[in-house]
Amino acid sequence: MGAVAQSVHLPLLRRRPELYTVRAISDVSPSLLAAVGSVFGIAERDQHVSTTELLDRGDLDAILICSGGSHAAIVVAALERDIAVLCEKPLAFTHAEIATIRAALPDGGIPKLMVGYMKQYDPATTYAREILAEVDDIRTVDVSVLHPTGQSQLDFARLMVPEGDVSAETLAEFKRIDRALWDTALGEQNEDEHLWQVYSGCLLSSLAHDFSVMRTLFAPIETVDFADIWRRQSSQQRRETGRDSGGLGSQPPSIRALGALADSGRFILDWHYLHDYPAYRETVKVIYGSGSLELAFPSPYLLHAPTVLTRYSAAGEAEARTEFRNTAESFEIQLDAFADMLTHGTAPLTDIAGAEQDIITSQAIIARYAERMNLPLGGELGAIA
C-alpha cells in the first residue's frame, strides 16, 4: 500500500468498476493498511497483513503486486493458486528466480502474468512505434533519465505512511531475502553494497522502463560494450536522499552504458540522480536517416500528464516538427490490457521473457563496469564478467 498503490493504482481501479472489484488489500504495516482501507472503503476483514492469508481467501481472480524489491515469491504463490498476476517491476533480480516463476506458469491457455511497464502502453509510445515501423535504418537511441528525490516527486500526493509498526521479524526477513539475492546475483563474497544498489535499485527498478520502451519501439538491447558508474557531491546540495536511501544508497549515482541493439543500431543510456532538480524528466531520442523523434515522459505519479512525442522530418528542403500529446493515462491503458489478457488471452507487452531480458541487460551493464574497474564478481554475474 505504498506510493504507487496510493497515488496511482487504487484511484484508477476505483474508477473502473466495470472491469475490477477490489476485494482485499495487503501490507506489512497494520497502521498503513488501516489508513488506506479507510480512505478507499476496504472493510477491516478484507485487510491482510499476511500475503498468504490474502492469497488463500479463495475469491480472487487476480492480484496486483506493487511492493518494493523482488516479487518472485509472491508471484509463484499466486500462480500456484491459479491467480493471475499484474506485477510492478522488477519481477525478479536473478535468473534463478525467473526459472522458479517459469516453472509455476501454466502450459498454454490464457496468459497469467503481466509485468507492469506502463510506458509501453503510453499513447505516445504506441504512435512512435507506428512511425518507426516504416524505418529500417535506426542509427542510435539516446536515453536520458533525470531522477529527482522521491520527496520531490511525491509531495503532492500526501501519502499515508506507516507508523513504525512493521515487526522486527518482518524487517529482518526482508534483509535476509535481500542478502540472499545479492549473493546469488553478485556472489557470496561480494560486499559492495553500492554495486548491489545500482543493480537492484537503479537498473532493474528504474532504467528497466527504458529497456522495455526500446523493446516496444524497435529492438531489444543486444550487447553492452561500455558501462560507467560514478558519484558526485555538491557543497550546495539542499535536499537529502531521504526515502530513496534504502534502494539507491545515501548518494545515488550517475550511470552511463553504450552498446548495440538487435537491429544493428546503437544505444546510449544515461541515468542521473539529481537531489536539487525537482522535475522528473526522461527522454528517449531515436535518430534515423530521414529525421528523428523524441519521447519526453513526465513523472510517473502525475496521472494524465501527457508524454510528448516530437517528430523531426523533412519538408522538401526544410525541417518540419510535429508534436503529439494525449492525456490518456498509460497506467489505465495497462489495466485495460490486463483485463483483456484475462478475458481474451491477449498476450501482454512484457511477460516473463521480457523480464528475463531486463536481467540480462542489467547484469551485462554491471559486468562491463566491473571489468573496467577490475572488481571481482561471483554468482550469476561472475559467469558472464
pLDDT by residue (tens digit) across 293-340?
999 999 999 999 999 999 999 999 999 999 999 999 999 999 999 999
- Intervals of the chain under pLDDT 70: none
Together in a domain, 325 and 287: yes
List the CATH number of the domain containing 65: 3.40.50.720
DSSP SS3 for 358: helix
Dmax (CA) for the chain in angstroms is 68
The sign one gets for the Cα dihedral 215, 217, 222, 224 is: negative
Together in a domain, 313 and 330: yes
C-alpha cell at 56: 488463500
| Strand ranges, E, within 200-355 | 221-230, 254-261, 266-273, 281-288, 291-297, 308-315, 318-324
**Cα–Cα distance measured from residue 218 to residue 221, given in angstroms and rounded to the nearest whole number:** 10
Together in a domain, 43 and 57: yes
Q: State the residue range of the domain holding 91.
A: 3-116
Together in a domain, 107 and 178: no
Together in a domain, 196 and 100: no
DSSP SS3 for 339: helix
**Pick from 84, 116, 148: which residue ends a domain?**
116
Together in a domain, 157 and 306: yes
**Cα–Cα distance measured from residue 31 to residue 8, given in angstroms and rounded to the nearest whole number:** 20
pLDDT of residue 108: 85
pLDDT of residue 243: 87
Together in a domain, 94 and 221: no
pTM of the predicted model as reported, rounded to 2 decimal places: 0.96
Together in a domain, 377 and 297: yes
Together in a domain, 95 and 226: no
Together in a domain, 135 and 102: no
Together in a domain, 29 and 168: no
Together in a domain, 70 and 191: no
**Pick from 116, 131, 155: which residue ends a domain?**
116
Total count of domains within the chain = 2
- What counts of helices (H) and strands (E) characterise the chain? 15, 13
DSSP state of 199: I
**Pick from 58, 89, 116: which residue ends a domain?**
116
